[in-house]
Amino acid sequence: MLFPRMLEQAIIVAAHPDDEVLWFSSILDKVDEIVVCFVNNESYPEWTAGRQISLAAYPMKNLSTLNIDQAEVFSGGDWNNPVVTEYGIEIANKKVSDRSERYKGNYEKLRRQLEQYLKGRSNVFTHNPWGEYGHEEHVQVYRAIKSLQGELKFNLWYSNYVSNKSFRLMLSHLERFHFDYACFETNKVLAHEIKDIYKKNKCWTWYDHWEWYNEESFIQERPYEQEEKKVGNLFPVNLIKVSLPQGRTRKAHSYYSVIGRTIKTLMKERFKR
């Protein structure tokens, strides 16, 4: 292993039940503790009930949860032009704007409660700055943990998943840091076992046909050192194709319709000759 001590005094912090197995399956049975931040969802009480049953039946008994309700701001950010804030990502979608204050408030709740779990930890594994496939609460969990790193002095590692929705935010992040990484083989047997528990209790929130990559990487960022090359470095990602927000879809259709009209015009001019 490139970083032989990266699993010592280690903890996973995941936003929602099933995130821990989707993005951290390779180390799920290797860390000292797993913390899930948001269990309760007011709009989907069946998820809340199913999650509670699933976590009670969890194969590892080192899992804890925080008492924080989801803000329910999924796809509230402008992922074409994402704006990172102290508390996560700016909520631009008017459909969920009434939940923006709850989202902001959750940031302080996360910091306050997570501080107790992260004290004394050497290595913390969590979501990446672009929220894997583009989830506002994943970004927020990262931001809260990042804000505690300076005080608590732990190594911060995040997942290497990204999607066609979140890649713009990932690219903007790449410009500012150097990255070290370590690769692990995903634990597909354990992952499917946990997936089946969530599905049985009707609270699996990801794609039913999902299959795990063979490997996943965990990334540690740091400032560039003097004389260090800023380009030509490897940055491993596991890319996922997801549905894009409606606004982006309309722009794409508009873009292709312009191309189509241009081709038709050129063809007409060609045949006129």
Lowest pLDDT segment from 170-174, 231-235, 242-246, 254-258: 254-258
**For residue 2, what pLDDT band results from cuts at 50, 70 and 90?**
low
Q: Which of 154, 121, 127, 122 is nearest to 13 (CA)?
A: 127
* Average model confidence (pLDDT) across the chain: 90
Helix (H, G, I), strand (E, B), or coil: what is residue 135?
Answer: coil
- Is 60 exceeded by the pLDDT of residue 265? no
Q: Would you say how long the chain is, in residues?
A: 273
The encoded tokens of residue 28 equal: 């799920």
Q: Global pTM? A: 0.88
For residue 150, the tally of other CB atoms under 10 A from its CB is: 7
Kindly report, residue by residue over 65-113, the tens digit of the pLDDT: 998 999 999 999 999 999 999 999 999 999 998 999 999 999 999 999 9
- Tell me what pLDDT residue 123 has: 98
Mean pLDDT within 204-218: 97
**Torsion angle, alpha carbons of 80, 85, 88, 89, to 10:** -20
- Is 50 exceeded by the pLDDT of residue 134? yes
Kindly report, residue by residue over 19-56, the tens digit of the pLDDT: 999 999 999 999 999 999 999 999 999 999 999 999 99
Element (H, E) at 110: helix 100-118
The encoded tokens of residue 39 equal: 């269990």
The encoded tokens of residue 233 equal: 């470095």
For residue 212, which phi and psi values (nearest 5 degrees)? -75, 145
Contacts with 19 (C-beta within 8 Å, 6 or more apart), sequence order: 36, 127, 138
- Tell me what pLDDT residue 257 has: 44
- Cα 12–16–22 angle (5° rounding)? 65
**For residue 262, what pLDDT band results from cuts at 50, 70 and 90?**
very low
Q: Which residue has the higher pLDDT, 157 or 262?
A: 157
- Tell me what pLDDT residue 234 has: 87
**For residue 271, what pLDDT band results from cuts at 50, 70 and 90?**
very low
- Is 50 exceeded by the pLDDT of residue 250? no
Token look-up 């993005």 returns 23
Q: How far apart are CA 235 and CA 110, in angstroms?
A: 29
User: Percent of the chain, pLDDT > 70?
Assistant: 89
- Is 70 exceeded by the pLDDT of residue 153? yes
Secondary structure (DSSP) of 1-31: --STTTTTTEEEEESSTTHHHHHHGGGTTTS
Greatest pairwise CA separation for the chain in angstroms? 78
Query: Do 30 and 1 contact (CB within 8 A), yes or no?
Result: no
